Chains A and B, each alone.
Chain A
Amino acid sequence: MTEVLVARKLGRRYRWRGGSNQALLDVDLSVPKGVVLGLLGRNGAGKTTFVRIAATSLMPTSGSLEVFGHDVVREADAVRERIAVIPQESRPFYWMSPTELVAYYLRMRGESTGAALRQAKETLEELELTRWKDTQVNRLSGGLRRRVMVAMVMASDAEFLFLDEPTTGLDPLARRSVWAAIRKAAKANRTVLLTTHYLDEAEALSDRLAILESGRLLASGTPREIAARVRHPYRVTLEGGFSEKELRALGQVTQVGAKTLLFTGEQEARELARVSLEKGTRISMGPVSLEDLFVQIVGKEISEEDEEVEASHAA
């Protein structure tokens, strides 16, 4: 597969008078053409910084990043010809209609009026915005405005789309229309880098995942590859039948109401299933969800950091 984005030891330190913050550190990441990469992380993990560097809006302070084989620092113009971005918290011009916003954005990118209007009509239909196509944006809800922003970049001819939290504030149905548009973009062999806080969204859309925490890349690969890297790739839900001590020996235990949630390995899960059947205990099991993976990977990182801090304080 052709890699369309390659980051090597990418770093970014923000400096201000009297302080600084390392927002990204030594990030190595590659994205193949035509995939949807879900970039996950908590607030302040470095997702937006990564997107801004890749979209040529922000300079890195160390390492390098290439998009379509062009260095984003030295050959930014060549990159810009082929990308489009929805920045986090971006908003449309309130005095324009969705049709005007999409069409003028495309014209700004060099499209002819006819082509821009045709593309605008098609994309607004795709995102179920036709009903509001001529309504001034200040009369639209926050969710509709966000969808108009998505329509702007989706309508472009960009081969690589950077979507920084595109569905924040959307209701579940509206999110699904955006998902459909993202899937369509991927089908058309466009590459999408998606940052989101909604793990169900990342799970539904992403071919690949990358998890950032405190500016460092903790994991990357297909969801299956990432699941294979965690210690407890199975999620088991039990209703009685086992003591907490017995379960703790098998993995990570959480009490959810009357049910016990256990994250464990494949062998342990099989054994539990066998014993439960013998005992007649209710049990359900399956591979961990993306949310579980995220909590395991990021949670482990945070607890290790806490231990380091405690150790340094004790010393």
Chain B
Amino acid sequence: MPRERLRAIWALVSLNGLLPLRRQPLFLLNTLTSPFSFLFLIYVVSGGKLVADAVEGGMVLTVLSIGTSLQTDLTHYKQDLKFHEMAVASPVSAGTYVVGLALSEFVYSLPGMVIFVILSFFYAHYIFLGGLIVFGTLILIWIFASSLGFTLATYLADVRETFAVSPLISIGLTVIPPVYYPMSALAPWPWLQVAAQIAPTTWAANLVKGAMGLAPLSFAGGVEAVLILLASAGLLFLTAWKKAQWRES
């Protein structure tokens, strides 16, 4: 990767992640609130029984929130600050811009991730291979979420519209699918179990929980989940590549 591209990525990570976080640490609360609220609710409702599932689900939601934050930031920079236009009229490529901003969102997620990883040591049967699987799964979810954010930002005319879309993403990808709780909790509603298979986050949660020894995961089941996640991330990445507009048509 050329040095100029790395500098551009680092500049974007700094100006959208490190600097605002240093100036306004309250931004951190924004990314921590949702995952830890869910964790608390699951803990209370299940009497502590499902807390391990919720910890692993929290990791998935924390990474997924990158997509919704990215969507808001991209729309704000495009419609309000016109920074997007300044970036277009410069040597920065669309790919560099998105990777830079998507990594900058990761900065906000890091403290939450660290807490969830620490909690995992207490609740999950942590093994080295499992850790690698979790890491790979989260990378795929990051690509999926970032591509989703970039694509949606193309079609939103104002940052207020992102406030309407973000909760829908959250409900569709983390509340209804069994991310914070096991699939077995949906047993009374078989149609919901089937519908949950559409969400890539269901497969991500299966993989993470399986890798952590919280749910049974066969080799075939693991391969199937990885393939579905790869396909979802790849499809959304291609959609972003083709449909998201770097330049207005």
Contact = CB atoms under 8 A, between A and B. Distances in A.
Interface of A: 52, 55-59, 76-77, 80-81, 83-93, 95-96, 100, 104-105, 107-112, 136, 152-153, 156, 158, 162
A157 B143 CA distance: 33
B159 to A, nearest CB: 13
Contacts of B247: 56-59, 76
Nearest to B92: A108
A219 B209 CA distance: 69
B89 A58 contact: no
B81 interface: yes
B7 interface: yes
Interface string B1-36: 001110110111011000110011000000000000
19 contacts: A58-B248, A80-B89, A83-B89, A84-B89, A84-B90, A87-B85, A88-B82, A89-B82, A91-B81, A93-B83, A96-B19, A100-B19, A104-B14, A107-B11, A108-B12, A108-B92, A110-B8, A110-B91, A111-B7
Nearest to B3: A110
Given A59-B247, A59-B248, A109 B91 contact: yes
A89 B80 CA distance: 8
A237 B81 CA distance: 46
Given A56-B88, A83-B89, A108-B12, 14 more contacts: A52-B248, A55-B89, A83-B90, A84-B86, A85-B89, A86-B86, A87-B85, A90-B81, A90-B86, A104-B11, A107-B10, A108-B92, A109-B91, A110-B7
Contacts of A93: 15, 19-20, 81, 83
Interface of B: 3-5, 7-8, 10-12, 14-15, 19-20, 23-24, 80-83, 85-93, 100, 247-249
A109 B92 contact: yes
B88 A95 contact: no
Nearest to B21: A95
Contacts of A158: 90
Nearest to B23: A95
B82 A110 contact: no
Contacts of B100: 108
Contacts of B11: 104-105, 107-108
Nearest to A88: B82
A104 B23 CA distance: 16
B87 A91 contact: no
